[in-house]
Amino acid sequence: MKLRGQCHCGNLSLTFETGLAPAELPLRACQCSFCRAHWALSTADPRGRVDVTAKDEGLVEHYRFGLGVTDFLLCRRCGVYLLAVSEIDGARYAVINANALACRAEMIAAHTPMDYEGETVEARLARRKSRWTPVGEMRGL
């Protein structure tokens, strides 16, 4: 199944290939101040793939905070946070802001509050490698 998402103005977009129906995708609510400020609900499929495209790279903000091992991709024009990407062992993995997916209304799973405070870099990257979605192409980025 191919799911599509984008920021509000359409500069940043993604295609999320997954074997899960939207209703089966997990929803996690990270409790960090960034995710709370954006009302983000995250989803991923470690057996899937996500491709990301930017029409204008100059309008993409790669924001890092905390442990500094993740790029949170935001559109500078409309302000939408689309997804976060980490490079782990030479490969990229992403977690998607479910609110940016066109099928969001079909994603009916209850969200699980998550607190990652106190994780080491090693533990964080290991968790992400096992839970996040592999990244295929990043066009225009």
- Give pTM, 2 decimals: 0.94
- Please give the helix or strand (H or E) that residue 36 lies within, else none: helix 33-38
- pLDDT at site 67: 86
Calculate the CA 33 to chain-centre distance: 16
**What residues are paired with 134 via a beta bridge?**
93
Calculate the CA 13 to chain-centre distance: 11
Range of the domain at 20: 2-139
Instruction: Write the CATH number for 125.
Output: 2.170.150.70
Residues 93-120 pLDDT 10s? 999 999 999 999 999 999 999 988 889 9
Mean confidence (pLDDT) of the chain: 96
> Which sign does the torsion angle of CA 58, 134, 1, 82 carry?
negative
Mean pLDDT of 42-62: 98
Only one residue has tokens 């295609």, namely 15
- pLDDT at site 99: 97
Number of domains in the chain: 1
